[in-house]
C-alpha cells in the first residue's frame, strides 16, 4: 500500500465528486477550481479512475464525470490503488535467492503489515469520510473481523 500526495489528490477529487452528486456530471474544470489541482493533472488522474471503473465520463457540452457507483460503495483503498502503479516487488521476491531466513521474514512481515493497511482503507468508503463519523462507523457499523489465516501476502 502506498500513500502519497498523488493518492491524496485522487481521494480529494473523488470526495469533491461525491459531495456534488445529483446535480449531473461535474467537469474537471470545476474540480480543478475548487480543489486547486491543475486541470491536466486531473485529466491524468481521471483517466486512471475511469479505467478502474470508479467514474463514468460524459463527453460533449454539459458533460463531465460522475461516480460509477454510489459513494457508499467506493473505498479509499480502491481510489488510491487506481492512481498508483503497483508497488515494485521486494527484490528477493520470485527469485529463489534469499532463503537465508532473515530477509524473507522481514519482507513477509512488511507484506502482512501492508495488507493490514490495505484492509483498513478498504473499510472506509467515500461516504464514510463525507459523513465524518467514519471513526465510529468503521469500528462498529461495519463490524468486520479479521482472522489471521485469511492474511494473504502480497508484494
Which residues of the shown chain bind DNA in the complex (CB under 7 A)?
2, 4-6, 9, 25-29, 37-41, 43-44, 46-47, 50, 57-65, 84-85, 88
Closest CA to 65 of 42, 83, 85, 82: 42
- Residue 78 phi, psi dihedral angles, 5° rounding: -60, -45
**Binding partner of residue 54 among its own copies, DNA, none, CB cut-off 5 to 8 Å per kind:** none
Q: Of the listed pieces 38-46, 47-55, 66-74, 139-147, which binds its own copies according to CB under 8 A?
A: 139-147
Alpha-helix residue ranges (DSSP H) falling in 4-125:
5-19, 28-35, 39-51, 76-83, 102-122
Greatest CA separation for the chain: 61
Check residue 54 for interaction with its own copies (CB under 8 A). Answer: no
Among 68, 92, 93, 127, binds its own copies (CB under 8 A): 92
**Binding partner of residue 64 among its own copies, DNA, none, CB cut-off 5 to 8 Å per kind:** DNA
CB of 34 to its own copies, least distance (A): 5
What the block records as the C-alpha cell of 144 is 468486520
CB of 113 to its own copies, least distance (A): 5
Closest CA to 31 of 10, 56, 49, 6: 10
CA–CA distance, 56 with 73 (Å, rounded to integer): 15
* Residue with smaller CB distance to its own copies, 61 or 152: 152
**Binding partner of residue 89 among its own copies, DNA, none, CB cut-off 5 to 8 Å per kind:** none
Please name the residue that has the C-alpha cell 461525491: 18
Amino acid at each position: 500500500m502506498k500513500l502519497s500526495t498523488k493518492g491524496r489528490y485522487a481521494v480529494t477529487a473523488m470526495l469533491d465528486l461525491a459531495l456534488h452528486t445529483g446535480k449531473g456530471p461535474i467537469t474537471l474544470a470545476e474540480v480543478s477550481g475548487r480543489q486547486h489541482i491543475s486541470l491536466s493533472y486531473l485529466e491524468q488522474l481521471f483517466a486512471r479512475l475511469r479505467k478502474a471503473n470508479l467514474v463514468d465520463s460524459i463527453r460533449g457540452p454539459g458533460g463531465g464525470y460522475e461516480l460509477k457507483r454510489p459513494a457508499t460503495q467506493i473505498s479509499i483503498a480502491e481510489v488510491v490503488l487506481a492512481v498508483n502503479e503497483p508497488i515494485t516487488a521486494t527484490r528477493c521476491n520470485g527469485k529463489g535467492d534469499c532463503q537465508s531466513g532473515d530477509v524473507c521474514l522481514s519482507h513477509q512481515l512488511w507484506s502482512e503489515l501492508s495488507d493490514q493497511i490495505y484492509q483498513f482503507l478498504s473499510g472506509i468508503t467515500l461516504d464514510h469520510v463525507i459523513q465524518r463519523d467514519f471513526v465510529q462507523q468503521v469500528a462498529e457499523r461495519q463490524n468486520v473481523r479479521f482472522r489471521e489465516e485469511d492474511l494473504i501476502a502480497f508484494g
